[in-house]
Amino acid sequence: MVVQDSMDTPGVPLEPFLHQVGGHLSILKYDEHTVCKPLISQEQRFYESLPLAMKRFTPQYKGTITAHLRKDSRGRLSLVANPLKGTRGPFKVSTESAAVAIWQTLQQTTSGGGALPLPQWQHTQLAHSLKESPATALLRSELHLKTQVPSLVEDVHGNQTERRSFNPWGLHCHQAHLSRLCAEYPENKRHRFLLLENVVSQYKHPCILDLKMGTRQHGDDVSEEKKARHTRKCARSTSACLGVRICGMQVYQTDKKHFLFKDKYYGRKLSVEGFRQALYQFLHNGTRLRTELLEPIQRQLRALLSVIRSQSSYRFYSSSLLIIYDGQETLQMPHGSNVVKVDIRMIDFAHTTYKGSWNEHTTYDGPDPGYIFGLENLMQILQDIQEGE
């Protein structure tokens, strides 16, 4: 519903999640520890029936909310969620809640023709000079994302063309999402979202690798046209030969104090050797290879592999695996060991099927062979990197 903004219309402004590195659905920030994404019934049912053994490898499911489009007096659109009922303590309104409105205003300003000549400031400089939050400052400077995002992330030769402190992909997805809501749904439509744990909230400089897992990326319920399209993508990428391909990544460069970004278009072009080099790059901070991360990552991957092997009938088609670590250097403990923050999480279950799932088209026996194939190859490549091969 497009609601005219007023002081007596409470709500939680949903902002673009600035650490979204992949996917096509917009991930939005609800609060510091919670994100939300458009609700798909099959994914909701997966979270509600999640096997206990898998819970440590998935974001915590926090329920659902409804949201509506809100238009202020200047015609700027934003998504506003109804506050959760029964939450403990008062809701903390984010200091970055003006980000969406500012971005929408600038978007409207440039929609008539050509992007404004906006300065390419780092977010810290802009925030300091304008006394704004990082997200607000970023949205001021990122408006020309109305054009194609991939060209801003890398040029046709794969070279980095823009250096930014936050990944532009989430802004691209948010813009596409708002445009779709305005164009395809009636004004009185209330939109439902899943509430999920923000798995990077504890990291100062979250380095994130989004991996599309498995040798097959289409669900049982898709059209023949979409099935053929996804099959072609797999055949032309490392999905076919490795069971895994890169859908996006950001890695903090300590020497330049900014993130390096790669998107799904970059990942689709990689050969097997290119995939290995990209993994190496993900673990390199611009100064050195973070070798202390390799064993914790592999340990968690081994644990995940054991869990996947125990899940009979599950097929995680089109799901992703996030590898996360902190770009901030590790802390040295008194006894000489380092504190390394690493996390492995499975996400995106809209096409996951399992025995007893709603609207299942096919029942499978045994664990997911494509997912296992991808995990095993990923672990082997990481082992090769660790051994210096």
Higher pLDDT, 28 or 5: 28
Half-sphere exposure of 263 (CA within 13 A, CB side): 23
pLDDT score at 150: 37
Query: pLDDT (tens digit, 9 = 90+) per residue, 242-262?
Result: 999 999 999 999 999 999 999
Q: Compute the distance between CA of residue 250 and CA of residue 162 in angstroms, rounded to an integer.
A: 13
Query: pLDDT (tens digit, 9 = 90+) per residue, 203-237?
Result: 999 999 999 999 988 888 888 898 898 888 898 89
Query: pLDDT (tens digit, 9 = 90+) per residue, 284-305?
Result: 999 999 999 999 999 999 999 9
Per the domain annotation, does 155 fall within a domain?
no
Name 283's Cβ contacts closer than 8 Å, sequence gap at least 6: 251, 289, 290, 291, 293, 294, 385
pLDDT score at 353: 92
DSSP sequence for 68-90: EEEE-TT--EEEEEPPPTT-SS-
Tokens standing for 325? 């670590």
Domain ranges, residue 228: 202-387
Let me know whether 277 and 343 are in one domain: yes
How many distinct structural domains can be found in the chain? 2
Query: pLDDT (tens digit, 9 = 90+) per residue, 68-114?
Result: 988 778 877 789 998 776 543 333 434 344 344 434 444 444 344 33
Of 177, 196, 215, the residue at which a domain comes to its end is 196
Q: What is the mean pLDDT of the chain?
A: 79
Let me know whether 179 and 228 are in one domain: no
> Is pLDDT of 320 > 50?
yes
Let me know whether 83 and 213 are in one domain: no
Alpha helix segments (H runs only) across 23-79: 41-48
Which residue, 102, 81, 85, is CA-closest to 93? Answer: 81
Which residue, 158, 145, 155, 156, is CA-closest to 26? Answer: 145
> Is pLDDT of 151 > 50?
no
- Would you tell me how many other CB atoms lie within 10 Å of the CB of residue 296? 16
Strands 61-71, 3-4: pairing kind: parallel
pLDDT score at 217: 83
Model pTM score: 0.80
